[in-house]
Amino acid sequence: MPETPANAVNDLVLASGRFPGGTALHDVHVTDGVVSRIGPAGMPGSPGSRVVDLDGRYIIPGLWDEHVHMTQWALAANRIDLSGAASAREAADVVRSHLAGHYDGGLTVVGVGFRDAAWPDVPSRELLDGATRGRPTALLSHDLHCVWLNSAAAERYGVAVDASGLLREEPAFELTRELGKLPDSVVDAWVRESGQAAAARGIVGIVDFEMTWNRDVWRRRVAAGFDYFRVDVGVYPQDLSRAIADGMRTGQELDGGAGLLRVGPLKVLIDGSLNTRTAYCVDPYPHGGHGLLTVSEPELLELLARARESGFVPAVHAIGDGANEVALNAFAAAGIAGRIEHAQFVRGQDFARFGELGLTASVQPAHALDDRDAADSNWAGRTDRAFPLRSLLAAGATLALGSDAPVAPLEPWTAMSAATTRARRDGREPWHPEQALTRVEALTASTRGRGRIRRGDPADFAMLDGDPLAVSDAVFAAMPVAATLVAGRFTFRGGV
């Protein structure tokens, strides 16, 4: 449990801290969860203030992950990890090895994280059947857009699959939701563990795009004591009428949320993903086809108009350059600002429209490194405009960084490292380093534009053991966090 001082929301002085890029020591005074004063170290506080000595540590605004599937992230931590499998056969062998040492009590065996776009072989129902010997098994791709089933799982869930054993897009989403139907007490305990880990990395808030009616789920979790970070709860089109009838709108604080829960954006998926080759693209894939446009431009325009009229900020999932064009057209026609989630592949002539329309590009920098081979294969010769962080920022878009966990880990420093280096410590050269951000830009895009702490801000902070603008790339990627506060309350306390 994170420590919760009795007077955390009254008067607190964070003494002798530094701000990134500087050496001078400052005191930050917090009153009722809000920054009340910032001044030189030693500035007197109110009588009875609690003083916490930062001992020269660096203090930054707390970090947000702008795109998370929180339940799926918590579930993934308790499922078979297939992220290291380099082929379909290797993935099947990982499952076979797991089953040899585990009995799942008749439950469906679930694996997560496989990436088949660059595999030398292809998934098949026969291959998975041979590895699982009749135990119902479902393997989820890393992007959640594909599920690989054996025959026993297909029979258990009443779904039809061909010889590949694969479900894609909406059928995959439906089954993924079904696989997540575990007892609330089990799932909520796993979410609590994942929340504690996120707080330890400086996270003070997430936008949760779990594909369900998620408002009441989070109310239940907060009522049971979850208090590690703030949550903006996304709404999907199938629930928009219900949300409107309940008087919900983006940014509204939710009753029963202890000040931590707000209504998030309206999430609309209009295409698929790169690794499943269902992202909707202007040019055909090497294997043929342009991917899938799952919501037409007129349908999207109608949804954006409803969002405008009801006070919802739209968040449109668009990965392929064709999908991004459709999204931009609809935003322009609807006369509403909002977010494009992912924006992984954008035509040169479309960049300027992000700025002109006042859009936020909600991007996941770690995907650029995870998917560089798939992008080079499927978008050959055009990856100078893939995962185009610098181009989007230069065009006037507001950047908001996230993970899309469980697609990538809910780890903000991994995301910021990917954004600033376009490389990992794996011996490979940076991938399109011209699209990299500076550390100041990455921190700003991870703190909802705050960049630095100011009087009147909510006291949502992360305290660091090093200057994030000066440490080495290796340290930055795994930045040691000493403490995290939300509304002046410690949600993680390590070295402070």
d(CA 91, CA 147): 13
Minimum mean pLDDT range among 9-23, 119-133, 144-158, 293-307: 9-23
pLDDT at 104: 67
pLDDT at residue 457 is higher than 60: yes
According to DSSP, the β-strands at 166-168 and 461-464 are unpaired
Flag whether pLDDT at 264 surpasses 70: yes
Please check the confidence at residue 8 and state whether its pLDDT lies above 50.
Answer: no
Q: Summarize the confidence of residues 226-255 as an average pLDDT.
A: 98
Three-class DSSP labels, 24-71: CCEEEEEECCEEEEEEECCCCCCCCCEEEECCCCEEEECEEEEEECHH
- Asked whether the beta carbons of 178 and 212 are under 8 A apart, the reply is no
Question: Which pLDDT band holds residue 10 (cuts at 50, 70, 90)?
Answer: low
Q: What whole-number distance in Å separates Cα of residue 167 and Cα of residue 165?
A: 7
pLDDT-above-90 percentage for the chain: 90
For residue 63, what pLDDT band results from cuts at 50, 70 and 90? very high
With 70 as the cut, is the pLDDT of residue 9 above it?
Answer: no
Q: How far apart are the C-alpha atoms of 401 and 412, rounded to whole Å?
A: 8
Residue listed under structure tokens 């995907």: 367
The rounded mean pLDDT for the chain is 95
Asked if pLDDT for residue 83 goes beyond 50, the answer is: yes
- Terminus-to-terminus CA distance in the chain, angstroms? 16
> Cα–Cα–Cα angle for 179, 182, 186, nearest 5°?
135
pLDDT digits (tens, 9 = 90+) for 310-346: 999 999 999 999 999 999 999 999 999 999 999 999 9
**DSSP H helical ranges for 335-472:** 351-356, 365-370, 372-378, 389-394, 412-421, 439-445
| Strand-pair partners of 50 | 12
CA dist 269 and 319 (Å) reads 10
Q: What is the pLDDT of residues 265-279, one digit of tens each?
A: 999 999 999 989 999
Backbone angles phi, psi at 269, to 5 degrees: -90, 125
**Sorting pLDDT into bands at 50, 70 and 90, what band is 13?**
very high
CB 419 within 8 A of CB 401: yes
